[in-house]
Every structure is written in C-alpha cells, then in structure tokens.
Amino acid sequence: MADCELCGVARPTLCPVKVKAPGVLSAYPAGTWRGINLECLNICHEANMQRVPIKAKKCDLCSSKNVPLFQVKVPVPIFQEPYHRETIKAICESCFEACEDTIKRREAEKEESHHH
C-alpha cells in the first residue's frame, strides 16, 4: 500500500506523476515521481479544464513557489460522518500537464492490453 500524495488515501497502486520539483531539479532535471491515486488524477484532470486560480504559497505536488496555482478539491478521509472532507489543494500548471501525461500513458496502456 502507498499513500496518495494529495489526499493521503492508501491504495495498492498509485498513478505515478512526473513533476519538476524545484528542490531537487538540479539532481533530477527530468523530474521526480509523485504517486497519486486514480481519484485524484481524475480530479486534477477536471481542475485542469476549469483552471480556477487560487492564492497559495506553493504547489501541493511539486512545491514550486511563485508560479500560478489553481485550486483542486480533493476529498480527504476523516473518521466521522460523512467520512471525508473536501480539502482545497493548490496545483501548478506543470503538475497539471504531468497529470495529463499520466492519463495519456494509462490510456495507451489500456489500448495495449485490449490488443492482447
């Protein structure tokens, strides 16, 4: 099991998203992997369509500062009714693109498995 880096929900498998984290960009210029679950991947995809700006200090996925950020509403689990709370996260444009890449890659993989 691994925890989603956005909402914290544990899943057997996460969707790897390649982000350009500024802190380690010199060590990993091609980007580093963040794991988010499928729910969050879809939420990011929808948020990318809407692009609602949000004022935040940094991107919640790659920690980029001083970049335009957009709001993403993720349901974070809590231990009482209704068992999740909508939490607003801030995601940068480059992470949105990374999410789109992951979605495209997943779709390509799905195509592959249909042929076999």
Q: Which of 15, 44, 69, 92 binds Zn ion (CB under 5 A)?
A: 92
Closest CB to Zn ion among 73 and 104? 73
Closest to 69 measured CA to CA, from 102, 92, 103, 52: 92
From 45-53, 58-66, 81-89, 106-114, give the range in contact with Zn ion by CB under 5 A.
58-66
Considering the rule CB under 5 A, would residue 17 count as an interface residue with Zn ion?
no
From 25-33, 46-54, 62-70, 102-110, give the range in contact with Zn ion by CB under 5 A.
62-70
Considering the rule CB under 5 A, would residue 72 count as an interface residue with Zn ion?
no
Take residue 64 and report the two structure tokens written for it. 């980029």
Residues in Cβ contact with 77 at an 8 Å cutoff, skipping those fewer than 6 apart: 7, 8, 9, 83, 84
Q: Which of 4, 14, 41, 69 binds Zn ion (CB under 5 A)?
A: 4
Considering the rule CB under 5 A, would residue 47 count as an interface residue with Zn ion?
no
Residues in Cβ contact with 7 at an 8 Å cutoff, skipping those fewer than 6 apart: 36, 37, 39, 40, 74, 75, 76, 77, 87
What's the CA gap between 64 and 107, in Å, rounded?
Answer: 28
Give me the residues that bind Zn ion (CB under 5 A), please: 4, 6-7, 37, 40, 59, 61-62, 64, 92, 95
